[in-house]
Chains A and B, each alone.
Chain A
């Protein structure tokens, strides 16, 4: 009953190398998840000439023995927030290694942040990234944000109109917030005029100067400078106030708040959405599943660190500290918060306050991470582990499988589609299992657990706090736009 036996002949049928059209592929008796139709169940798919020729839902006798705990087919994932470091930091990641990592994670579309060097603040840089994507041979679709400000310096607007013409999907100074409320107001209005959103990294830099870890019990004991929740809440408040103002002048303004991490800031967004403000937000796998206690050496999932009354448990009292403390792969911006905040991220995802899970894939070199905790670069290499982390939530019955798939597919697609301009781009198409469309899907085996190791990660960034951990849901196959993006190396053995 190995997954490969179910795809018997598929390896030879696949034949092509990365980037080549999948001429013929059949998968019998898998569990199909189609978040567009909302349907999931036993089924079969056939791909011919790169096109998803047929999707057959099985019933009765034919469906026997197929469960949602085995081989699963879902639409290809869409990451609204990743860093591939090119140009400028190619020792940390390149477009080629980044797309390979994305495909290994089940992603077929990624939107890259513009904090490259030079920053993506004019179309020339975008062309370099696209050229690198073409040269990589990967069929993973690479989208990009332009910078809000020239050189991300927070002074003047970037070449926003030219960037829109060149096809950016939005604007962000990610890595840092849009520096001033005045600049944010201008950016929202100008971007709104162009039908694009501003994606803000919400952080009050004045409150986080020198900060090392979420301000609270763990940071207090560990002697780490506190990174207060107020820094995010304050920035979100500012952004929402400016958005409300800008909306009066330009109905097409859109604000997207990325990687929100605190219960209080998510609650602000919830209320703003209720009040009709054009705001969306996302959360990351690490803020859903990890907590600040990991820095002290805990390695339990965030939901395992909640007490019966919903408060955070004490890892010292629980004897839960099993790993070395101060692991720099846990240094991330915004910081890992409390288990209560992680639960709030999940609640926001489930009630629609957050419309997507994004990886904030942030690869770093050993040189930037094998240093003192407070001096390490912020970021987690996470595009290859997002699926496994969400499946851990599903395994723990915190979230239905279909919701996890939606958070990686229709959730981010709807977010993109809600931004007026890029609705026409292929990325914003509804990510369903649509017959007659180019095949864009991932096949993974929920029962097949794999261990995260430096070797198993395709990304150059080995800065994952999940190194050494087993995750469920090994990705067997990723097909992007009808072309092969990733195939499990074991698949051709049979």
Chain B
């Protein structure tokens, strides 16, 4: 069976609408909230193809030959930046890497001016990481090319959510998340990973549980309540709890999120030790999940805080798979964006 046929078969058994006719029309990818389920399946199928490329002895195809990808990172990042740049090079794109620490940003240049400059220098696809929520939306309004959000503030990290989804599908029968219990444990309040995962996993039909101390769940219960009645077309409900055992029990997927030290200075946590004791994913806690459950982490990890070292290297952990899948997902998105039909640009510029 070809990769495409296989993916289509997965789509059918999953009971979702047939998706083969779906054409990518988004000019930018700022979050997964505006991406429909058939479009997500298109991304998954395209990722399958990119995985095929990565399995070859020479991991390089000419798909984006001569296209110019610029990464603009306003926040420190190792894996996301390297992942995007590797993905772009695998597609034969020319990659320009801008780090704000060594750019005119340190001289007070505004985001708008920086982006206009990069566009004048030939940037076509802008991969951006920024500490302020909504910054890539501003970029999308002024940039003539494509913006790919590499994470903004607490708001969104769409490529992470998509690589998480891809990884989960690899480990679940038929790649079907419907009814599968996914527990995300950690600092939900400040997490762009959690927010993007809420959109994608509720679209996938997962039984999503968000868990953390009450101080790091602020506002989430209200959100969950609003969605409880199936208010948002195409998205299911999710649960919010501070009871970590209830969240993890019988889960198919358990994901830990990074806990930052600043949360203690902000008075949100008594200590990392207390967090580890009450919410950390240790072997005992993970044993509450299904025997075949996988353990995930978007990285970078604080081993011994949100995840115990033995859990992180256990056979259940798929953390390095997430990293590897991240390259394939980002190749898929760069490929789809670069080929996005320019006619669709007007409306999509808004979102």
User: Which positions in A face B, CB cutoff 8 Å?
Assistant: 212, 215-217, 219-226, 297, 314, 316-317, 319, 323-326, 367, 370-375
Q: For B222, give its contact among A220, A297, A324 (CB under 8 Å).
A: A220
Is the beta-carbon distance between A317 and B219 smaller than 8 angstroms?
no
A237-B74 Cα distance, complex, nearest whole Å: 40
A439-B232 Cα distance, complex, nearest whole Å: 55
User: Is B110's CB within 8 Å of the partner chain A?
Assistant: yes
User: Which positions in B face A, CB cutoff 8 Å?
Assistant: 110-112, 130, 132-135, 137-138, 140-141, 152-156, 192, 195, 218-220, 222-223, 226, 231-233, 349-351
Is the beta-carbon distance between A374 and B351 smaller than 8 angstroms?
no
Q: Which label, helix, strand, loop or mixed, suits the secondary structure of the A interface?
A: loop
Is the beta-carbon distance between A216 and B152 smaller than 8 angstroms?
no
User: For B220, what are the chain A residues with a Cβ–Cβ distance below 8 Å?
Assistant: 220
What would 17 more interface pairs be, CB under 8 Å, given A226-B219, A324-B137, A373-B132?
A216-B219, A221-B223, A222-B134, A223-B155, A224-B133, A224-B154, A226-B218, A297-B350, A297-B351, A316-B231, A316-B232, A324-B349, A326-B133, A326-B137, A372-B111, A372-B138, A373-B138
Given A222-B155, A316-B231, A317-B231, are A215 and B137 neighbors across the interface (CB < 8 Å)?
no
User: For A226, what are the chain B residues with a Cβ–Cβ distance below 8 Å?
Assistant: 218-219
The smallest C-beta distance from A4 to any residue of chain B, in angstroms, reads: 38
* Closest chain B residue, CB of each to CB of A323: B350
User: For A221, what are the chain B residues with a Cβ–Cβ distance below 8 Å?
Assistant: 195, 223
A212-B154 Cα distance, complex, nearest whole Å: 12
Q: For A314, give its contact among B130, B138, B226 (CB under 8 Å).
A: B226
The smallest C-beta distance from B253 to any residue of chain A, in angstroms, reads: 23
The smallest C-beta distance from A213 to any residue of chain B, in angstroms, reads: 9
User: For B222, what are the chain A residues with a Cβ–Cβ distance below 8 Å?
Assistant: 216-217, 220
Is the beta-carbon distance between B138 and A326 smaller than 8 angstroms?
yes
User: For A224, what are the chain B residues with a Cβ–Cβ distance below 8 Å?
Assistant: 133-134, 153-155
User: For A319, what are the chain B residues with a Cβ–Cβ distance below 8 Å?
Assistant: 233
A445-B33 Cα distance, complex, nearest whole Å: 43
A189-B86 Cα distance, complex, nearest whole Å: 68
* Closest chain A residue, CB of each to CB of B30: A325
Scoring B132, B220, B351 by chain A CB atoms within 10 A of each residue's CB, the highest score goes to: B132
A123-B153 Cα distance, complex, nearest whole Å: 45
Is the beta-carbon distance between A215 and B130 smaller than 8 angstroms?
no
Given A314-B226, A326-B137, are A215 and B219 neighbors across the interface (CB < 8 Å)?
yes
Is the beta-carbon distance between B153 and A223 smaller than 8 angstroms?
yes
Q: Can you report 13 A-B residue pairs in the complex whose CB atoms are below 8 A from each other?
A: A217-B222, A220-B223, A221-B195, A221-B223, A223-B133, A223-B134, A223-B195, A224-B154, A314-B231, A370-B110, A371-B112, A374-B134, A374-B153
Across chains A and B, which 6 residue pairs bring their CB atoms closest together, nearest first?
A223-B155, A326-B134, A223-B154, A220-B219, A372-B132, A317-B231
A102-B255 Cα distance, complex, nearest whole Å: 56
Is the beta-carbon distance between B232 and A317 smaller than 8 angstroms?
yes
* Closest chain A residue, CB of each to CB of B194: A223
A326-B112 Cα distance, complex, nearest whole Å: 15
User: For B156, what are the chain A residues with a Cβ–Cβ distance below 8 Å?
Assistant: 223
* Closest chain B residue, CB of each to CB of A370: B112
User: For B130, what are the chain A residues with a Cβ–Cβ distance below 8 Å?
Assistant: 372
The smallest C-beta distance from B136 to any residue of chain A, in angstroms, reads: 9
* Closest chain A residue, CB of each to CB of B189: A220
User: For B155, what are the chain A residues with a Cβ–Cβ distance below 8 Å?
Assistant: 222-224
User: For B223, what are the chain A residues with a Cβ–Cβ distance below 8 Å?
Assistant: 217, 220-221
The smallest C-beta distance from B263 to any residue of chain A, in angstroms, reads: 14
Scoring B133, B134, B138, B156 by chain A CB atoms within 10 A of each residue's CB, the highest score goes to: B134
User: For A326, what are the chain B residues with a Cβ–Cβ distance below 8 Å?
Assistant: 133-134, 137-138
The smallest C-beta distance from A308 to any residue of chain B, in angstroms, reads: 15
Given A217-B223, A374-B153, are A222 and B133 neighbors across the interface (CB < 8 Å)?
yes
Scoring B135, B138, B231, B351 by chain A CB atoms within 10 A of each residue's CB, the highest score goes to: B138
* Closest chain B residue, CB of each to CB of A223: B155
User: For A220, what are the chain B residues with a Cβ–Cβ distance below 8 Å?
Assistant: 219-220, 222-223
